[in-house]
Every structure is written in C-alpha cells, then in structure tokens.
Amino acid sequence: MSIKLYNTLTRRKEDFTPLDPDRVTMYLCGPTVYSYAHIGNARPAVVFDVLNRLLRHHYKTVVFARNITDVDDKIIAASEVSGEPIDAITERFTDIYNEDMQALGVLPPDIEPRATAHMPEMIAMIAQLIETGHAYESDQHVLFSVTSYPDYGKLANRSLDDMQAGARVEVADYKRHPGDFVLWKPSADGQVGWDSPWGRGRPGWHIECSAMSARHLGKTIDIHCGGIDLIFPHHENEIAQSCCAHPGTPFVRYWVHNGFLTMNQDKMAKSVGNVLTVNELRKRVHPEVLRLALLSAQYRQPLDWNEDVVQQATDRLDKMYCTLRSVENIQLSEDELTPGEEMLAALGDDLNTPKALAVMAKLVSRINVATDDDERRVAKAQLLASGRLMGLLELPLNEWLQNCQGRALSSEQINALVTEREHARANRNFQRADEIRQQLTDASVQIEDSNEGTLWKFLQ
RNA sequence: GGCUGGGUGGCAGAGUGGUUAUGCUGCGGCCUGCAAAGCCGUCUACGCCGGUUCGAUUCCGACCCCAGCCUCCA
C-alpha cells in the first residue's frame, strides 16, 4: 500500500518512498513559545500527527522532530511587556503547548529540539556560509546573499525580480539585495544574546530549522511540513541555507504544507479579535471533537471554524461511540486490530481524512447492519484500527458517553432512576416511567431501551 | 501587480469523463407501551460563458467571485 503526498516543490502528488526504507525522517516547524497556541496552530500538529501515525503503520522506524522556537523577537517583546524572564516564558508556554497537543491526541515528537540549545550548530553553519561566499557581514548583522543561490525562489515559484516588484517593506540599508535575510543579528546590552564571531547577538528566524534538522535528522530529510504561509519566506530560506551549507546534498525530499483555518470566514487574527486558543476551547469542547473537526477537511483545503463544524464533529463522534457500545461485548485481541485496505488507501492518498471518515462511517453502518457477531467483530476491529490511525476513538466508552463531569446528575443518581423506571415499565406503569424519562431528559440524559435492558448516555 | 489554492445539494465535505461519496439535517416508513437508537426509503448539487467529446460537475479557454502568500504568521 503506497502513500502519495502532494509535494509543494513539484506541485503534484508523488509516491512517497523514503531515502532509507528503515528510517523515515520528518520535521515539522513547531511553535514559537510566547503565548497560547490557537486552533489554527493546532491544525498542522494534528494533520501531520496523522501522517506520523500512517508512516509508523507502514515503516519500522520513523524519526519525527518538531522544534521549539525559544528565541525570537516576539518572545523578547513579551518579556519586556510583562517583566517575566524569557526562560520562564518559554518554559511555561512549551509546557502548555505540549499539554494542549496531548489533549488533542497528538503523539509526542521523537525529538523536540530547542533553538537555544543549538547555538554552536547555528554559528558553525553561518560561519560556513560566510566562508563559501553565501553570506556576508554588514553592520553587525550577518546576511544570507540570495543572489548567491541560483535556485532561490524555487519552492515558492517566485523570482527575485517578482519579489522586488512586490516589495512592500523598506529595505534595510545594510542589505546588498532586498531579498537578503538575516542569519545573525546584534543584541543590545541587557537583551538576550550569545557570543559569536560577529559579536554578541542572536540568530535570525530561519537558521534554527536548517541547523537542527541537519543535526538530528541528517542533511537530507524525507518530509518537511508546516503551514502554507511558511512556504515563503521561511522554507525558501531554509532551503537556501541548507543547500548552500551542504552543497550537492538535497535538503528535503517532500515539502508538505497545510491550508489555513478561518474563523467564520474571516482570517483569525488578533487585530480582528477572533483568536481561539486551544487551551480555552478545550475547556468547553471535548478535545477529541476538536481533533475530528480539524480532520474533517483535507489538510490542504481551507477549513472554516464555526459552531456548525464543532457540532457536526460532535454528532459524528457520538454516533461512533454509541455504535461501539453496541458491540462492547466483543473482545478483540491486539493482532485483530488492522485497518482495512480502503482506510489505508484513503489516508495514503495525500491524507484524505474526509474520505477516511467516510470509510469509518461505513464501518459503523456495517456494525449496525450485521446479522452475526463474526461480521460485527471484523467491522469493529477495522473501525478501532482506523480510529487509531486517525487518533480517534481511543477513549474508554464511558469517558465519552457517561462522563458526569459538569453534569447535573451523578451516575449513581442516574442508574437509580433508570432502575426505578425499569421497574415501573415492568409493572406497565408507563406514566411513572415517562415521568422519570422526562426528568432524565431535563438533565441531558438520553435513554435507550433494548432487549438487554436500558442504556443511558449524556446528550453532547 | 506577481505567485498559490478554491467555488459541489439545507450545512459540512470527498470524488469522478457516462454508474450511491460520507456525516449532520428535512420528509416517509419499520421497530417501540410511547420514545431513543438503529434500519429502509427519499427531496434540494456541481460559480458563469464558450470549446473538445456520442456524452463534462469532472478536460481546455475566457470571465466573475473568495481565500492565502509576496512583511511576523500554522
């Protein structure tokens, strides 16, 4: 079963084959840790988590790195505003980020490199770029010379001339070419900084990913992913740095980028005041719902975030868990849990998660239509295995169906009422039975009578 | 202005040169003491205009509209 990925570099879907079949390498541009991650930040984390899971299904070893950018002008600015030391800010928000992502079912990366822990690597790479004529020192800055790299602009499909024509920003006078970007910049006294051959300063934004991916994954990596907005300039600059520092060695074999998330059709931005943080959102929406909602559109498509999307994800998930409850008595062994070909084909086709969800819906249907337990068994196994690839359906059933947290009634109270109602029904006292049901309905508890007895669940 | 994507039924969202996506919702039915759940059936589609074709939502061209990037940004 193959995996096809849309490669931004070639603008088409390509069959994925790792350079080393025994060791797939993948790098995702992680957060800059100066504030809470918003739901848009969560999209790449979640969709590329599915890719990570899929790769692990197909290959023995996958090395997945997601960096932490813990030195950046925005962090410095945040520190200056609050007075909180930089280390404290970055540590706190790294922890919050990881908690948020864990709640969303994102597997932890194998390596989580921090920029501040890789100064020697960055400095060495910059020094090498200067030596080979790809970078120059100017007014205490070190700049990458874009004209020294003929392929500059290839990822974004953009020529240097186009960029100059569209320039909207005043060009710093220490730049030889307006497209030249900072590798190293000076730090003022009292500002965070490291000693370097070019004076005390700090790295530019792009160099950390080049240095850290080479250090941890190798000079050539299989997959590099991130948001579509990173194509230019971030990833374009990474390519320039890495290819010039490692001449003759390809940097990234598959560039994969996720589309943007909008809020009720608007761009999510602080200036619009519509930024929804994961941390805040998961207090009132089950994180698995957030995950499913993020996977409800194919990753390259735009995804509009609104109440409807959340509600529909809730309904889908509820249906799946309810169906799983109906086959709760079927015990499965670990080796039965294999996803079907259809599921692997859907995800293998450039992570077609909506199609994958459709496959899961059909499995739900198969369970409900099945006439014997053998059929149900196979469908349940495939559903759970599919869920595992998607990072869904991994909760104990009652954590979804009967979680009493924040509810008006405890499970003891509900069970007592359900039992009382069953007695009333047995005595054909339907008036009392309906009274109890109304009482439960008022507490958002839904009753399901069946031959095996009465089941209940909370309405989501 | 340059470069990317995209416009599918009430909503979300796949996909395909001729055949049911899928989920939620609406409607009818089965089941049920009544419900709920489930099942069965069913109504609204492919931005606009041309072209290619026996046949286009699907390919090609023009147009309109939307979003993103070109500056920090997932």
Do A127 and A209 fall within a single domain?
yes
Residue A152: Cβ within 10 Å count: 24
- Predicted local confidence at residue A1, as pLDDT: 67
3-state SS class at A240: helix
How many whole angstroms separate alpha carbon A135 and alpha carbon A245?
10
pLDDT digits (tens, 9 = 90+) for A234-290: 999 999 999 999 999 999 999 999 998 988 887 777 767 788 999 999 999 999 999
How far does the CA of A413 sit from the C1' of B46, in Å?
51
pLDDT above 90 as % of chain A: 85
Considering A258, A287, A317, which residue would you say is the last residue of a domain? A258
In this complex, the nucleotide whose C1' atom is nearest to the CA atom of residue A30 is B74
Please state the ipTM of this predicted complex.
0.93
Domain harbouring A339, CATH code: 1.10.730.10
Do A416 and A346 fall within a single domain?
no
Query: Is it the case that residue A90 has pLDDT exceeding 90?
Result: yes
- Predicted local confidence at residue A395, as pLDDT: 94
How many whole angstroms separate alpha carbon A92 and alpha carbon A305?
27
In this complex, the nucleotide whose C1' atom is nearest to the CA atom of residue A362 is B22
How far does the CA of A32 sit from the C1' of B69, in Å?
20
The tally of domains found in chain A comes to 3
Q: How many helices (H) and strands (E) does chain A have?
A: 16, 15
- Predicted local confidence at residue A275, as pLDDT: 87
How far does the CA of A416 sit from the C1' of B34, in Å?
21
Query: Is it the case that residue A400 has pLDDT exceeding 60?
Result: yes
How far does the CA of A218 sit from the C1' of B54, in Å?
56
- Predicted local confidence at residue A195, as pLDDT: 96
Do A245 and A299 fall within a single domain?
no
Considering A221, A236, A258, which residue would you say is the last residue of a domain? A258
- Predicted local confidence at residue A69, as pLDDT: 95
How far does the CA of A264 sit from the C1' of B50, in Å?
35
In this complex, the nucleotide whose C1' atom is nearest to the CA atom of residue A204 is B72
**Of all protein residues, which has its CA closest to the C1' atom of B33?**
A430
In this complex, the nucleotide whose C1' atom is nearest to the CA atom of residue A352 is B14
Q: Check if the beta carbon of residue A275 is closer than 8 Å to that of residue A268.
A: yes
**Of all protein residues, which has its CA closest to the C1' atom of B71?**
A169
How far does the CA of A370 sit from the C1' of B37, in Å?
16
In this complex, the nucleotide whose C1' atom is nearest to the CA atom of residue A353 is B14
pLDDT digits (tens, 9 = 90+) for A148-203: 999 999 999 888 876 665 455 566 778 888 889 999 999 998 899 999 999 999 99
Question: For residue A311, which phi and psi values (nearest 5 degrees)?
Answer: -65, -45
In this complex, the nucleotide whose C1' atom is nearest to the CA atom of residue A262 is B67
Output DSSP code: residue A448. E
Please identify which residue in the block is written with the tokens 């790449």.
Answer: A44
Question: For residue A184, which phi and psi values (nearest 5 degrees)?
Answer: -145, 135
**Of all protein residues, which has its CA closest to the C1' atom of B14?**
A355
Do A376 and A416 fall within a single domain?
no
How far does the CA of A4 sit from the C1' of B53, in Å?
31
3-state SS class at A277: strand
Q: Check if the beta carbon of residue A264 is closer than 8 Å to that of residue A306.
A: yes
**pTM for this entry:** 0.96
In this complex, the nucleotide whose C1' atom is nearest to the CA atom of residue A31 is B74
Do A150 and A196 fall within a single domain?
yes
How far does the CA of A382 sit from the C1' of B3, in Å?
43
pLDDT digits (tens, 9 = 90+) for A407-446: 999 999 999 999 999 999 999 999 999 999 999 999 999 9
Do A437 and A364 fall within a single domain?
no
Calculate the average pLDDT of chain A: 93
Considering A241, A258, A275, which residue would you say is the last residue of a domain? A258
**Comparing C-alpha atoms, which of A183, A206, A222 is closest to residue A65?**
A222
Do A174 and A308 fall within a single domain?
no
Residue A247 preceded by cis peptide, ω within 30: no
**Comparing C-alpha atoms, which of A412, A399, A401 is closest to residue A446?**
A401
Between vectors from CA A130 to CA A128 and to CA A136, what angle results, nearest 5°?
Answer: 155
Do A97 and A83 fall within a single domain?
yes
- Predicted local confidence at residue A169, as pLDDT: 55
Q: Check if the beta carbon of residue A359 is closer than 8 Å to that of residue A342.
A: yes
Tokens at residue A352, please?
């077609």
- Predicted local confidence at residue A85, as pLDDT: 94
Tokens at residue A395, please?
């909760």
In this complex, the nucleotide whose C1' atom is nearest to the CA atom of residue A268 is B73
How far does the CA of A355 sit from the C1' of B7, in Å?
20
Do A287 and A433 fall within a single domain?
no
Do A226 and A271 fall within a single domain?
no
Output DSSP code: residue A219. S
A37: left (phi over 0), alpha (psi -120 to 50) or beta: beta
Collect all residues with Cβ–Cβ distance below 8 Å to A143 and sequence separation of at least 6.
A135, A136, A137, A174, A175, A176, A180, A181, A182, A183
Query: Is it the case that residue A378 has pLDDT exceeding 80?
Result: yes
Q: Check if the beta carbon of residue A140 is closer than 8 Å to that of residue A201.
A: yes
**Of all protein residues, which has its CA closest to the C1' atom of B73?**
A229
Residue A5: Cβ within 10 Å count: 22
Tokens at residue A426, please?
């047995």
Domain harbouring A167, CATH code: 3.40.50.620
In this complex, the nucleotide whose C1' atom is nearest to the CA atom of residue A39 is B74
Do A74 and A192 fall within a single domain?
yes
Do A90 and A135 fall within a single domain?
yes
**A137: part of which helix (H) or strand (E)?**
strand A135-138
Q: Which nucleotides of B are covered by protein (CB under 7 A)?
A: 1-6, 11-15, 21-25, 32-40, 67-74
Alpha helices (H) in A256-306, listed in sequence order: 278-284, 287-294
A315: amino acid identity, one letter: D
pLDDT digits (tens, 9 = 90+) for A322-368: 999 999 999 999 999 999 999 999 999 999 999 999 999 999 999 99
How many whole angstroms separate alpha carbon A70 and alpha carbon A93?
10
3-state SS class at A104: coil
Determine the structural domain holding residue A441 and report its residue range: 406-460
How far does the CA of A455 sit from the C1' of B68, in Å?
48
Collect all residues with Cβ–Cβ distance below 8 Å to A165 and sequence separation of at least 6.
none
How many whole angstroms separate alpha carbon A270 and alpha carbon A303?
19
How many whole angstroms separate alpha carbon A301 and alpha carbon A49?
17
How far does the CA of A7 sit from the C1' of B54, in Å?
38
